[in-house]
Amino acid sequence: MTSRSTASTDTTDQQAVEEVVIIGTGFVGLPLAIMLASKGKTVHGIDIDKNVVKAINDGTLNVNEKELNSRLKEDTVQENLVGQTEPTSGDAFVISVPTPLTEPNKSPDMSHVEAAVDSILPYLEEGDLVNVESTIPPLTCGNHIVPQLERAGYDPGDDIQLAHSPERILPGNVFEEIVTNDRIIGGIDRASAERAAKLYEPFLEAEIYYTDLVSAELCKLMENTYRDVNVALANEFALIGDQMDVNPDDIIELANKHPRVDLLRPGIGVGGHCLPVDPWFLNEVDPEHTNLITTARRINDMMPEITAKKIRRAVADHVDPKIIALGAAYKPNNYDQRNSPANEVVEELCLDGYRVTHYDRHIDGMGYDDLQATIASESADVVVQLVPHDETVEELDELDSWLSSNDVDLLQF
């Protein structure tokens, strides 16, 4: 049961949402809090991290997401958004806490979601909406959140509305995508899904698709798994290309000239908060039918080690080479280091005893003033570009002839 509505046309007669309590004001919760506050909603941003709460209230959060700092400082946002460490009452509760994996068995760690739901129970009142934005394993709403609410004496779908609207924003382009991405809203019933749409209507300029809870859970996981598997395919093609001594990027470009082929870019691995995690949620619920998915995960997880091997081979002619590694973020033009393949590559090289200094202009404390001066002062033998940030690629382009005339090898991934 999927159906569509346009956010700009307010078609439902569900009660508006005026006061919103957002549990978890991190990468996902804070942009939503800011968007709602900027549209005049009363927003309580709840976080167990006192520093995050203080920074929200002071308007000083130093997060390197485009526009986030300036939007947080806007007068309307500062007037309407208050950071708190404890929940309070409201019309709608949004759950946007982490859902990591437990290692080494790659099972979902649902403790934050459970704690977040527990924390709102004393404040829930009849008619309130609970809307989960965290990425969750299939059946989490039905098998965990519904019983948790029932144990507290509620009857979700009757006295409490329950929805799951997974967040799909792309790190690095959050404030555009939160407005323009279509939204999938699963509800325990249609009324819950339509009420959740009331949360997004004030700022959304895209379609809303209504569905049930499990379909919404699965949809988010399929999206990220699709991307992970496709990067794995590109990585595997690149390994085959390497073996044949041809440039895989060039061949992929040629293959993409086919009208129905659209290969992604091979790289040094798949990092970030989502792609290395979410496919395992599918494996958790259906190990029998996730062979391709888990194989792709393993291919992507192997890439940092394979990259380190390539670097070892490339520096084999140098005695005790001095290596400068550029890039620590999990992807280009980004500052986030969560599950960063670049960091894994550097760790591998350091474990082997190589002398490596590691820089990333996008990351506080890892920058440099002048790349040429840095390479010269460190007497580097090899420069390895691990993350193709636009600026890094440009800088290295400009330094190309200087590097070769100074016998500095350049490796670019």
Could you say whether residue 314 binds ligand NAD (CB under 6 A)?
no
Residue 209, beta-bridge partner list? 4, 184
Taking CB under 6 A as the criterion, the residue among 47, 212, 217, 344 binding ligand NAD is: 47
Q: Does 338 bind ligand UD9 (CB under 6 A)?
A: no
What are 211's two structure tokens? 């569905």
Q: Is 274 a catalytic residue?
A: yes
Among 65, 91, 128, 167, binds ligand NAD (CB under 6 A): 167
229 near ligand UD9, rule: CB under 6 A: no
Q: Which option in ligand NAD, ligand UD9, none does residue 49 bind, with CB closer than 5 to 8 A by kind?
A: ligand NAD
User: Shortest approach of ligand NAD to residue 383 CB, angstroms?
Assistant: 30
Q: How many CB atoms lie within 10 A of CB 84?
A: 15
Classify residue 86 by burial, with Cβ atoms within 10 Å: 0-12, 13-18, 19+: exposed
Task: Select the residue interacting with ligand NAD from 98, 142, 202, 332 (CB under 6 A).
Answer: 98
End-to-end CA distance of the chain: 44
Among 52, 77, 162, 169, binds ligand UD9 (CB under 6 A): 169
Query: Rounded to the nearest whole angstrom, what is the least distance from the CB of residue 350 to ligand NAD in the complex?
Result: 27
Q: Please say if 220 is a catalytic residue.
A: yes
C-alpha–C-alpha distance, residues 340 and 327, integer Å: 10
Residue pair 372/402 in contact by the 8 Å Cβ criterion: yes
Residue tagged 């934005």 (tokens): 133
By CB under 6 A, is residue 168 in contact with ligand UD9? yes
Under a CB-based contact definition with an 8 Å cutoff, are residues 46 and 23 in contact? yes
Rounded to whole angstroms, how far apart are CA atoms 196 and 189?
Answer: 11
Site string for ligand NAD, 208-247 (x = CB under 6 A): ----------------------------------------
Residue with Cβ nearer ligand NAD (33 or 129): 33
Nearer to ligand UD9, 81 or 174 (CB): 174
Q: Which of the stretches 22-30, 285-293, 316-324, 394-402 binds ligand NAD when contact is defined by CB under 6 A?
A: 22-30
**Residue in the block written with tokens 């407005």:** 179
Q: What is the DSSP letter of 170?
A: P
Residue 331 and residue 328: Cα distance in Å, rounded?
Answer: 8
Residue from the set 31, 90, 108, 171 that interacts with ligand UD9 by CB under 6 A: 171
**For residues 314 and 306, what is the distance between their CA atoms, to the nearest angstrom?**
12
Question: Segment contacting ligand NAD (CB under 6 A): 111-119, 181-189, 300-308, 309-317?
Answer: 111-119
The catalytic residue among 141, 220, 309, 322 is 220
Q: Closest CB to ligand NAD among 33 and 323?
A: 33
Amino acid identity, position 42: T
Among residue numbers 208 through 227, which ones bind ligand UD9 (CB under 6 A)?
A: 223-224, 227
- For Cα atoms 64, 67, 73, give the angle at the middle one, nearest 5 degrees: 100
Alpha helices by DSSP H, listed for 265-340, are: 278-285, 291-314
35 near ligand NAD (CB under 6 A) = no
- Minimal distance, residue 214 CB to ligand NAD, in Å: 17
Q: Is 24 in the site for ligand NAD (CB under 6 A)?
A: yes
Question: How far is the C-alpha of 192 from the C-alpha of 195, rounded, in Å?
Answer: 5
CA distance 17 to 42: 9
List the one residue from 34, 145, 169, 329 that touches ligand NAD (CB under 6 A): 169
Helix (H, G, I), strand (E, B) or coil at 322: strand
What letter does residue 160 receive in the DSSP assignment? Answer: B
Pick the catalytic residue: 219, 274, 309, 310?
Answer: 274
What CA–CA distances, in Å, run from 99 to 15, 74, 135, 385?
30, 30, 7, 31
Give catalytic residues, as residue numbers.
Answer: 220, 274
Site for ligand NAD, rule CB under 6 A: 23-29, 46-49, 52, 96-99, 112, 115-116, 119, 134-135, 167, 169, 171, 273-274
Site for ligand UD9, rule CB under 6 A: 135, 168-171, 223-224, 227, 231, 264-265, 267, 270-272, 274-275, 330-331
